[in-house]
Amino acid sequence: MQTKEQQKENENMIFGIRPVIEALKAGKEIDRLFVQTGLKNELFGEMMGMLKKHNVLYQYVPAEKLNRLTSKNHQGVVGYISSIEYHKIEEVLPAVFEKGKIPLILILDRITDVRNFGAIARTAECSGVDAIIIPTKGAAQINADAIKTSTGALHTIPVCREENLKQVIEYLRESGLLVIACTEKTKENYYQQDFTLPVAIMMGSEENGISSEFLKMADAHAKIPLMGEISSLNVSVATGVILYEAVRQRLTE
């Protein structure tokens, strides 16, 4: 028997070359797409052209994988329509400034665990984050499980899925935001940073942390001091600690 999350994922499933083409023409966001290795025909070529035009990522897989995903006539293509509408940070940030609000942006680098991502989104929404930025590759899938863990926050807070995080970080800095990378590779504690300024907080995965390239681009680094023997916090907990320090500082300013 399928769980509610599995049923919801199946509702978002799309299969067949023509349905994928029509979904793209209708402006639908495709979250994941699996294409059978070796497919070649005119309609397939049309679909591939549209995938390139709309910057849709896809993965070549054997037919056996597609057959496991669905028993229906998939024609060598199975995908999933995104459960949310994605935004562009270039559109979100100016609107935040226009409202007279001091921006608080969250960048998530290589956070792939669905439940951690959902929990982070919930905390971000509660703490007044204006947008969550994730990379196109190497990010958690925003599926029914992520939305459930976020208690619906992912339908409220803008999520910006960006192909080039380096360009995004540069854009944020040029827009007057202080980019603070949260990493244990620093002597500066998080409460020593000024979160009353326009800020973009960057969090990395528990396994690999923030990419070294992005660490170098950050204006400041911050760590959460750990008093026990375990070397790290769960990333959703760590994000909550940092975000609510920003809340505390902004409320007491």
The closest of 163, 160, 165, 176 to 217, measured between CA atoms, is 165
Host domain of residue 99: 89-252
Q: Does the pLDDT of residue 46 top 90, yes or no?
A: yes
This prediction's pTM: 0.84
Q: Does the pLDDT of residue 41 top 90, yes or no?
A: no
Tens of pLDDT, residue by residue over 133-163, are: 999 888 888 888 888 899 999 999 999 999 8
Tens of pLDDT, residue by residue over 53-71, are: 888 889 999 999 999 999 8
Residue 9's pLDDT is what? Answer: 54
Residue 2's pLDDT is what? Answer: 46
Total number of domains constituting the chain: 2
- Give the three-state DSSP class for 200: strand
Residue 91 main-chain phi, psi, to 5 deg: -95, -35
The domain boundary, picked from 62, 81, 100, lies at: 81
Kindly state whether residues 205 and 176 are assigned to the same domain: yes
Kindly state whether residues 220 and 153 are assigned to the same domain: yes
The closest of 53, 56, 12, 49 to 33, measured between CA atoms, is 56
Structure tokens at 22: 């029509």
The domain boundary, picked from 30, 54, 81, lies at: 81
Structure tokens at 121: 């989104």
Kindly state whether residues 57 and 110 are assigned to the same domain: no
CA angle 188, 190, 192 (to 5 degrees): 65
User: At 167, which CATH number?
Assistant: 3.40.1280.10
Structure tokens at 88: 């562009």
